[in-house]
């Protein structure tokens, strides 16, 4: 007798709690193949596909999976999912909004503090017996300085709370949130990015990657930043223009940068940013904690299983698909 339970293909490992949850109602196959062709072959008969990193959920991949009813995105960002194509193909898209907000906010604060206190540089000096940082002082305090938050959503509002507690003045720019709500989220609303940037000692980016935000951290915007400012990006690599940042950091316009995301990921080992002592780097791990890993996995697993049971998920990215789910 043929197996009647739906098939879910996971594009990488998930938290054991999420895997167990899916296995109660579905057959689960995990693949480490990051090529579209490889995943398309494995998921040709799949009812559900969970996207982790690569490959992206492109129109061609989803078209190749003829039985596909739901695509889950492990985490928050949807820039690797072709949502119009999914809607056209009758495939529901679900994800786990808010699942890693605390983790990313903490990481952004860590990058700000690490840059401001020159933590990595002083650590290296101290281990070599060099205590000159006590007299050659360049560290700064966050208290009393001005922070600009670009994107005041689930992450941005948490950063605002953290930094207000440290005594910072917190400004916020988010054209999709009314001023009254921005004030509720703990920031002083700003009419434009151009108006906010010259005021800020620190700037942190918490935006999705869209045509509007691509390259936002580059060009004229970098030049508008206050001389000596510190910039942090834990959003998406496409938001920044690395040659522009490199120039600003090497010429002294920006004091430091904390970067968790990169224009190309993984970024090349010869990325010139790696040669700068005033750049703190991490490998797109801001949202990767044991806590967030479990929450994201369980949340997206629950949503995918709802779709496969014929129930409307709580977070449906493309609601127009619901009346004709599974109709190709």
- Return the pLDDT at 310: 93
- Return the pLDDT at 125: 95
- Return the pLDDT at 323: 83
227 and 303 belong to one structural domain:
no
Residue 53 within a domain: yes
Which of these is catalytic: 88, 169, 214, 284? 284
Element holding 179 (H helix, E strand):
helix 179-184
Active site residue 293: no
Active site residue 118: no
Which of these is catalytic: 124, 265, 309, 312? 265
Q: Please list the rounded mean pLDDT of every run of 10 residues in the chain (328 residues).
A: 80 94 95 92 95 91 96 88 95 94 97 98 96 93 98 97 98 98 98 98 96 96 98 97 98 98 96 97 95 94 96 94 73
106 and 90 belong to one structural domain:
no
Residue 88 within a domain: yes
Nearest by Cα to 61 from 77, 80, 46, 39: 39
- Return the pLDDT at 1: 38
273 and 192 belong to one structural domain:
yes
Residue 17 within a domain: yes
Number of helical (H) and strand (E) elements in the chain, helices listed first: 12, 12
Active site residue 265: yes
Instruction: For residue 274, count other CB atoms closer than 10 A to its CB.
Output: 11
128 and 173 belong to one structural domain:
yes
Distance CA 127, CA 121 (A): 10
50 and 91 belong to one structural domain:
yes
Which of these is catalytic: 157, 236, 293, 306? 236
Number of compact structural domains in the chain: 2
Q: Which two tokens stand for residue 139?
A: 């560290």
């Amino acid at each position: 007798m043929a197996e009647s339970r739906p098939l879910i293909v996971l594009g990488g490992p998930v938290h054991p709690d999420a895997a167990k949850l899916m296995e109660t109602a579905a057959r689960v196959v995990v693949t480490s193949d990051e090529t579209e062709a490889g995943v398309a072959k494995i998921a040709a008969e799949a009812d559900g596909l969970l996207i982790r990193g690569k490959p992206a959920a492109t129109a061609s991949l989803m078209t190749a999976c003829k039985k596909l009813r739901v695509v889950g995105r492990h985490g928050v960002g949807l820039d690797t999912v072709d949502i119009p194509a999914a809607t056209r193909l009758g495939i529901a898209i679900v994800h786990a909004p808010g699942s890693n907000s605390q983790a990313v906010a903490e990481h952004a604060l860590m990058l700000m503090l690490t840059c401001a206190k020159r933590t990595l540089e002083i650590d290296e000096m101290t281990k070599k017996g060099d205590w000159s940082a006590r007299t050659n002082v360049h560290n700064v305090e966050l208290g009393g300085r001005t922070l600009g938050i670009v994107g005041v959503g689930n992450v941005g509002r948490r950063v605002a709370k953290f930094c207000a507690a440290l005594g910072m003045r917190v400004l916020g720019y988010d054209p999709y949130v009314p001023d009254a709500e921005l004030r509720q989220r703990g920031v002083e609303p700003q009419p434009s990015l151009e108006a906010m940037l010259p005021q800020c000692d620190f700037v942190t980016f918490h935006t999705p990657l869209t045509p509007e935000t691509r390259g936002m951290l580059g060009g004229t915007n970098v030049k508008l930043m206050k001389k000596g400012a510190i910039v942090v990006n834990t959003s998406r690599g496409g938001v920044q223009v690395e040659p522009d940042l490199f120039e600003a950091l090497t010429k002294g316009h920006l004091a430091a940068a904390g970067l968790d995301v990169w224009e190309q990921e993984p970024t090349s080992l010869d990325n010139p940013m790696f040669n700068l002592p005033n750049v703190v780097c991490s490998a797109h791990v801001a949202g990767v904690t044991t806590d967030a890993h479990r929450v994201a996995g369980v949340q997206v697993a629950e949503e995918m299983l709802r779709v496969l049971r014929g129930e409307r998920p709580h977070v449906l990215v493309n609601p127009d698909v619901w009346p004709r789910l599974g109709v190709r």
